[in-house]
Amino acid sequence: MPNRQPQFRYNRKSLRYEQVHFSFWRFGLSLFAYLSFGFLFFIGLNLLQNLMIETNPEKALGKENKALAEYKAVLTSQLTESSELLGQLRTEETQLNEKLFEAPTEGTDEQSRSDFSIDQDRLIVTEGEPFEEQVVKMEGSMNLIYAKAKRYNQLLSDHLHVKKSDLPSLLNLPSVAPVKNLLAKNLVSGFGVRINPFHKGNYHHDGVDIALTKGTEVLAAGNGRVSSYSFSNLEAGYGNYIEIDHGNGILTRYSHLEKILVTWDQKINQGQVIGLSGASGGAVAPHLHYEVVKNGKSVDPLSYMVEGINAAQHQQLAIKGKVQNQSLD
């Protein structure tokens, strides 16, 4: 707007000069022109400064990104290499396991565990039934379980009442594991028909084999008296072994020991250290062969291990103990 003098326009209809007044439309138009040109300048200048100026953070970022990308490639190749080697090692491990135990122990272990977890998942995610129906169903099955439990309870209370005179012998049961912290992976062979490590034939394995390093403390599974022990440097049979009489016709045997720390007829308390584990006698590896004998017959020691162990651990042991693998004799 060059001057503030009033401007006129010639109106051809009225044949008169009429003054031009301030109009918002005109003002808006010129504002738009200024702004759009301003915006163009803004974009141009921004691109220019981007091109001309390199800021420090930009430089640092660029460097870091470059390094990240470079080392990413290096690491990815290393990772594929490593995982390939790892895969090979894992198959080798499985082969070694199969050779050592004549059964893919780890595999079956894992599989049964995963099967178990799938079952648990299935419990939660049922096939899209309405919630109400599920609740009704659940209630029904709970009532069933409740009734069953009640019946069993009655049955048990009818048939199972502990006489006071029986209490001491019950307290003497070999109810703890013969080693501290018995882990499922250390239970290398369970009770039942197993493969003999020497001749590879199937035979009845009368106890459980717990793999232990030489010199691990072996504990008494229950109160009792040492009824027998013997030393043997013969590479066959039980080797150095201890037998403890818990009364009531129940004996426990601890074989392949390195050292015996008890004497004949010594009174033994549950959890007492009675010897150190080893590989004496007919053992292919250092381990404890643990037997429970009831009335002259071997029984599965796992069914007696109830103290100091939770249900999940016991289940793990039971799963591991059922694998028909090779024993350590």
Partner 1 sequence: MALRYHYNSETCRYEPLVVSPRLFIKRIIKFIGISFLLGAGGLAYYNSQYPFLDEVKGLEENVKLALEWKSIDSQLNKTSQLLADLENSDDHNFRVILEMDPLSSSQREAGVGGREKASAEIDYPVIRSAMDLSEKIKNRLTVEIQSMAELKKTLAAKQKEWASRPAIQPLNNKNLTHLYLVFGQRFLPQDGYSRPHNGLDFVAPFNTPIYAAGDGLVVYASGGTTYGNAVFVNHGHGFETRYAHMSKYIVAVGQKIKRGQVLGYVGNTGHSFGNHLHYEVLYQSQFVNPIYFFQRDLNSSEFEKLIKQGNSSTSLD
Interaction residues for partner 1, span 65-84 (CB under 8 A) = 65, 67-69, 71-72, 74-76, 78-79, 81-83
Q: Of 5, 14, 165, 181, which lies in the binding site for partner 1, with binding defined by CB under 8 A?
A: 5
Q: Is 106 in the site for partner 1 (CB under 8 A)?
A: yes
> Taking contact as CB under 8 A, which single stretch among the options 96-104, 120-128, 141-149, 252-260 is the one that binds partner 1?
96-104
> Taking contact as CB under 8 A, which single stretch among the options 89-97, 131-139, 142-150, 300-308 is the one that binds partner 1?
89-97
Interaction residues for partner 1, span 263-322 (CB under 8 A) = 279, 282, 284-287
β-sheet bridge partners, residue 294: 250, 297
Using an 8 Å Cβ cutoff, are 279 and 287 in contact?
Answer: yes
Q: Of 20, 118, 136, 138, which lies in the binding site for partner 1, with binding defined by CB under 8 A?
A: 20
Amino acid at the residue 129: E
β-sheet bridge partners, residue 255: 289
Q: Looking at the chain, how many residues does it have? A: 329
Write the DSSP assignment of 252-295 as a string of letters. EEEEEEEEE---TT-EE-TT-EEEEEB--SS-SSSEEEEEEEET
Which is nearest to 209 in space by CA: 233, 234, 191? 191
Q: Is 40 in the site for partner 1 (CB under 8 A)?
A: yes
Q: Is 90 in the site for partner 1 (CB under 8 A)?
A: yes
Q: Is 27 in the site for partner 1 (CB under 8 A)?
A: no
28 or 168, CB closer to partner 1?
Answer: 28
Burial class (CB in 10 A: 0-12, 13-18, 19+), 31: exposed
Using an 8 Å Cβ cutoff, are 213 and 200 in contact?
Answer: no
Q: Is 39 in the site for partner 1 (CB under 8 A)?
A: yes
Q: How far is the CB of 122 from partner 1 (least distance, A)?
A: 27
Q: How far is the CB of 259 from partner 1 (least distance, A)?
A: 17
